[in-house]
Structure 1
Amino acid sequence: MTGSRSLTFSTARRPQRRRWVRVVVGLLIVALLAVVLLALSGGLLWAYAWARLGGTELPSLAAEGDEALGAGGATSPEGTTTVLIALTPPRDATDPAGVPLAGPVALVQVGGPRGDDAAVLVLPSQLPVSVEGEAPMTLAQVHAAGGPDVLLRTVVDYTEIDVDHVVIASETTLPQLVEALGPIEVCTTGCTTVDHAQATTTLAGLLTDDAAPADVARALDEVAALLRGLGAATDPVGAITSPLASKRVIDIIAADVTTDANLRGGALLPLAEQLSTTGAVAIVQLPGVVNPDTGRLLVLPEQAATRFAVLREGGVPEASADDDEAAFLAAATVSVQNGTGTAGYAADLEAQLSALGVRVVGTENAPTFDVERTQVIYGPDDPAVEAAAILIARELGDVDLVADERQPTFEGEPVSIRVIGGADLDTGGGS
């Protein structure tokens, strides 16, 4: 009887064990198939990215020594990555040349002595530069004429800063990525979601050459936050589990972004992560003034070279735009003429200019007293003097800026600038 019970018990439990084993084996097979499919999806995406994101051969990146930049060569601090980033209008990706720039060129330097922080050197697209002995061209014209390689070579030659990578994108790239993956969660002081239209507005802050440093810094912070949001939306797991969206991202980058060959395929992703996870961003702008009459950008070589040298050592230039303007004004010598005959008018102008930090060497009467509009007259062939004259004219208000082929003088001695006070600024309250 006992044996019979034992036999009955054993027969009742075996089917349950077999069912349990089949369930476990089935789950293992499903998991294995999922892993295989994910791996296959990831492999196909990687291969597709490798084929589509081929990068461009840029000979200037490989040049060394004299070939790269005369006898001195270009340098950057050990452990840093320096990336030239520029934006263009929408373009034909098969012809990276032939289009100007949509905004300034940025040299973004991360790593090295700054740790997690970054420095961004902003070079206006209207910056006049010399290209291999040719007449001066703007950076926008350089890119339109020669494409990324000539632009890179020109920037390296101008700054003497070594560049590791080049990324030139259409201004529509970022909004398109947001549209493909979005809306994207962006977190700065708080978190919100950003769509295509909002991404376009965010990017617009970087598409101007004359933005103040604070505005550029704010725009960079907003774009960096958006890049972090995009990075979170395109992490490896998300990329594999959403292959169609990942393919769309690859297609957008392939069509709208030009990179150097060293960023082929998936190599672009670590760089994007490095740029999007930086800490504080120091904005370095050139000491320059735009002539309102000619539209010409004046950049003083000595001040610019000082900024470049600090970047080559991994530091951050401390000079501000206000410091640069004060230096321009202090370096100029100015004479003031009374062009209306009002008693004390020239002395009033002298006091006003001296308060700005201008060195006024003396005052006198103009040849006539019928001057209607105040004139700020500067001599030829000196960008520093022209910059000072522009700043003086700006401070005085709506006055005439006059370039003269002759050197201004005061009591027979040369001066940088002559100011002739006219009726437009004469309040009649002279002493």
Structure 2
Amino acid sequence: MRPQAADRYRSQSSARRIVIISRDNTRTYTFSPLALFGGLTLFLAVSLGFLAATTYLVFRDDLFDLVRERNANMQQAYEDRIARLRSEIDRISSRQILDSVAMDEKVEKIMSAQRGIADRQRAVGELIDKARSIGLIDDNNTAVPADRQAALDPADVTGSINAYADAGRASLIDRQFDALTSAAGTAVVPKIDLRTADGKPDFKAISKHLASVDAEQAKAVEAIAEAANSRVDAAVEIISDAGLRVNVPEGPSDSEEAVGGPYIPIGGAQALATAMQEADQAFNRMAQVKAAAARLPLIRPLPGGGMTSNFGSRRDPFLGSLAFHAGIDFRSPTGTDIKPTAPGVVTVAGWSGGYGNLVEIDHGNGVTTRYGHMSRITARVGDRVTRDTVIGEVGSTGRSTGPHLHYETRVNGAPINPVNYINAGKKLANLLP
């Protein structure tokens, strides 16, 4: 046998074979002793290494502590980060809540201001209607200064918010702003910009706009108060010129002499409240002077009777010589009802010489009236009479040439021309309807 073949035979005989048979397939794997030894050695080394590592870990508890500490630190870091994020979220949420609350407060403030303006505007409207009903101002407002006539018809810029009370807050603000903007174009106040640079509603501008509406309403009320006080002053002057007197509180003076004091500005609403108070005082003065005038003999005793004799010097109808006539005479048929020219108390009711049947009425403050030549007296001494009370009937008793009424007005016993009172009454009727 050759040497090479012999070596190959020995090699094959010492090798190890692994045969795997699967149905019709047969596979054979051949491993040399060296390969088997190497594999076994590697397996033992890995096993020993795993065993050594396990033993090391078992006897090194501090490693587990280090791992746990590291995990704890990582968890704490995550929790801190989550806490910071939550804090940031809470801060943002709080800021949003504060902004929302601030927005609600601003909107509520504007709504409250508008409700106040609406209430005040209704009061101003009622005052204007009252002024027109008594003829203080007419439909063209000609009784007030030209620069204040437009203020008597202020535009309605209220009510726009309540109409959208069920809408969202942002929508509410926008619609309120739109309503105010559209109304500003027709209001007597100048149109102003009610938005900020970024297009959002400017609450300061809106508040200023509403205040300007109050200011315009205040001008309207001031105009009415001035007109009323002017009427009252004119009425008092008319009564005074007629020789009578009424006790009416003095109105505000326009004089700027000997005046002063610290400057304390007032807002639109307060200015309107002050103007309303002045208007109420003016109307109270008007009511007082009207009531006082109603207690004075300022009307004709016989509205349908013609005047036949004036007050003063005249020729006596019986003697033909000049004589003083202390009253005025009104022709009227016998039996015509006679009524007082003012309320009062009957002090004389009976025959009185040349007066014939006479009734005298005391109206207070020294003012009396006399009604002579009656055919019949229906009043009695002590009776309280009004302008609607029938005190007697026209006749021709006493020194009389025919049926008529002799009418006198006296102040503290001195006769005063009744025509002055009657004319004053006509003027007052136009001033104080």
TM-score by length of 1: 0.34
If you compute each CA radius of gyration, which structure gives the higher value, 1 or 2? Answer: 2
Greater relative CO (CA pairs within 8 A, separation 6+): 1
TM-score by length of 2: 0.34
